[in-house]
Amino acid sequence: MTPLPKLSVIEMNFDASLNHDGQLVILVSEDGKLDDFGGRLNKLMNGAIDRALASDDFHSLDLGKVLLLSYPAGLKAQGLTIAKLNQNSGVYETRACGVEIAKTVKCKSILILNGEFQKAADLVEGLALRNYDYRDQKTHAKNTDFDLQVMVQSVQEYSDKINEKLAVIDGVFFTRDLINAPANILTTSSFADQLLALSELGIIVEVLDEPELEKLGMRTLLCVGQGSVSPSKVVVMHWNGGGSEAPFAFVGKGVVFDTGGISLKPAAGMEDMTMDMGGAGVVAGAMKALALRKAKANVVGVVGLVENMPSGNATRPGDVIKSMKGDTVEVINTDAEGRLVLADILWYTQERFNPTGMIDLATLTGAIIIGLGHEMAGVFSNSDILSKQFISAATAEGEGAWRMPLGQAYDKQLKSRIADMKNVGGRAASSITAGQFLKRFVKDNTPWAHLDIAGVASIAQESAFSPKGATGWGVRALNRMIADHYEGMEQEPSG
């Protein structure tokens, strides 16, 4: 698995900064004034920092950007990075500055002379998020591990905040590793095994295998995986950090590979369908983050793990399947399989846990990419309160999310001649009809949001906080939403 940086939070020490042989990072406001540490370094460097700050290169830098000085005279360091940040710089600028440090500094040992800068945790967050590199499948992978030291005026004041950020980033990295893994490595069974390992963090993990799923009546989920030799599974993760309140629920689609089944996808780009378990990956990462930071809330994560393959035993277009709820579904397109997985586990989650609220995540429709591109996930919800809670958290974390409509007018597209409903409603408004399909498996008294993350789970170009590939989108937003609204108090269902 991809490791986090080895972090040390230490008190300001001038001698230690002089003897550091990696990369030094100093923070300088846009007025170019140096603090005491910076002034002493500048003197040792015969005024080199002052000359850099007087240059057009520094004055033309936007806030959050960096300027590099290589092999500074008078210091042991390989380089000195000047980061342009004000004391009142915003969270986004500060995170973005951390990203710039990660992108420009190639040294394996970084020492940040943070001093009294209050947003040190956000700076570290950006640096750590961007310093991700999936290399599990490379025989001669370049080692990108690095040590990170942060010098501060008060270790006690800063260390808890920084370590809490790293706990959440550990969850992000877990999600990225899961989504980046090829399908012959991340099978339904190996995925379940990795989730079972979360029990070491205090998460209670249950794995429901096919006989138990059949007994529960999860026929729509099972019909997706019946053409594959990989067994379908449902994994339930309980984090019990709160009181006696009912849990909040995360529900994730975990299609470890999606060929489209009998409704076979085109060959071009099918290799990207290793990411079709992205919803389950985000749920797993969020649960890990909550456990690592010991969140004072009760949260349950439920993921359906299947593989959608064509075979003589695969579900056919035109088959009618009865869901766990009891409704019948005419399968028009076997490539609209994610909603069949979610239908059963959404109903199961409500029947078993009666959650205070429920969010499902799925790489569900290509249409959401047409509508929102790769900048935003689509948010569909029956609750104004819950949708605002999530979108506010996503915005604070720099993870784009946009609310999309639901409405009874779309139900007519799901009408079936021979069953209670069809699993697709045609091309028009297909992301909305997918949400409308899922809504049929949500009880009226359950605050619910569906997140279509097809455009943001894995991307072809780097994003603000990640290299290309899996982004880990959603882990930080879900964590923040729980922290802001569901921790440390008895919860009543939101409306």
CATH number at residue 107: 3.40.220.10
Residue 82, classed as helix, strand or coil, is strand
Q: What's the number of CA atoms in the CB half-sphere (13 Å) around residue 272? A: 16
> What CATH number does residue 425 fall under?
3.40.630.10
Distance from chain centroid for Cα 62:
28
- C-alpha span between 28 and 134 (Å, rounded): 33
Amino acid identity of residue 411, one-letter, is D
265 catalytic residue (yes or no): yes
Domain stops at, among 119, 154, 189 = 154
339 catalytic residue (yes or no): yes
- C-alpha span between 401 and 359 (Å, rounded): 13
Overall average pLDDT of the 67-95 stretch: 94
Residue 141 has pLDDT above 80, yes or no: no
Domain stops at, among 123, 154, 185 = 154
- With b for 16 or more beta-carbon neighbours within 10 A and e for fewer, the 259-297 pattern comes to bbbbbeeeeeeeeebbbbbbbbbbbbbbbbbbbbbebeb
Does 453 reside within a domain? yes
Is the CB of residue 456 less than 8 Å from the CB of residue 379? no
Overall average pLDDT of the 28-48 stretch: 94
In the chain, the number of structural domains is 2
Amino acid identity of residue 299, one-letter, is V
Give yes or no: residues 386 and 283 share one domain.
Answer: yes
Does 160 reside within a domain? no
Give yes or no: residues 263 and 400 share one domain.
Answer: yes
Residue 341, classed as helix, strand or coil, is helix
CA 327, 330, 332, 333 dihedral sign is positive
Give yes or no: residues 96 and 137 share one domain.
Answer: yes
What is the DSSP secondary-structure string of 176-228? HHHHHS-TTTS-HHHHHHHHHGGGGGT-EEEEE-HHHHHHHT-HHHHHHHTTS
* Cα radius of gyration (the chain): 25
pLDDT at position 284: 99
Strand partners, 110: 23, 148
Give yes or no: residues 180 and 136 share one domain.
Answer: no
Does 233 reside within a domain? yes
Catalytic residue among 135, 265, 403, 443: 265
Residue 480, classed as helix, strand or coil, is helix
pLDDT at position 140: 78
469-494 tens-digit pLDDT: 999 999 999 999 999 999 986 444 44
Give yes or no: residues 203 and 341 share one domain.
Answer: yes
Give yes or no: residues 146 and 178 share one domain.
Answer: no
Domain stops at, among 97, 121, 154 = 154
Overall average pLDDT of the 294-304 stretch: 98
Does 44 reside within a domain? yes
Identify the helix (H) or strand (E) that includes residue 120. helix 120-130
Overall average pLDDT of the 277-288 stretch: 98
Is the CB of residue 191 less than 8 Å from the CB of residue 256? yes
- C-alpha span between 305 and 232 (Å, rounded): 6
Give yes or no: residues 61 and 199 share one domain.
Answer: no
- C-alpha span between 339 and 438 (Å, rounded): 7
Give yes or no: residues 330 and 361 share one domain.
Answer: yes
Find which of 73-82, 102-111, 138-147, 327-336 is predicted with most confidence, using mean pLDDT: 327-336
pLDDT at position 288: 98
pLDDT at position 106: 85
Strand partners, 450: 360, 380
- C-alpha span between 132 and 383 (Å, rounded): 35
Residue 260, classed as helix, strand or coil, is coil
pLDDT at position 167: 97
Is the CB of residue 27 less than 8 Å from the CB of residue 122? no
Overall average pLDDT of the 162-179 stretch: 97
pLDDT at position 433: 98
pLDDT at position 143: 67
Residue 198 has pLDDT above 50, yes or no: yes
Residue 62, classed as helix, strand or coil, is coil
305-363 tens-digit pLDDT: 999 999 999 999 999 999 999 999 999 999 999 999 999 999 999 999 999 999 999 99
Q: Which residue has the higher pLDDT, 144 or 230?
A: 230
Q: Where are the beta strands (DSSP E) in 261-390?
A: 298-308, 320-322, 328-330, 358-362, 377-381
Give yes or no: residues 367 and 443 share one domain.
Answer: yes
Q: In the predicted model, what is the mean pLDDT of the chain?
A: 95
382-399 tens-digit pLDDT: 999 999 999 999 999 999
Catalytic residue among 119, 339, 439, 476: 339
CA 280, 284, 289, 294 dihedral sign is positive
Residue 373 has pLDDT above 80, yes or no: yes
- C-alpha span between 380 and 406 (Å, rounded): 7
Overall average pLDDT of the 175-181 stretch: 98
- C-alpha span between 350 and 355 (Å, rounded): 6
pLDDT at position 107: 86
Q: Which of 251, 249, 296 is nearest to 494 (CA)?
A: 249
Q: 416: domain range?
A: 173-485
- C-alpha span between 376 and 304 (Å, rounded): 24
Does 49 reside within a domain? yes
pTM for the model stands at 0.96
Give yes or no: residues 195 and 285 share one domain.
Answer: yes
pLDDT at position 259: 98
Q: Beta 204-208 vs 233-240: how paired, if at all?
A: antiparallel
Give yes or no: residues 261 and 289 share one domain.
Answer: yes
Does 124 reside within a domain? yes
Give yes or no: residues 368 and 467 share one domain.
Answer: yes
Does 462 reside within a domain? yes
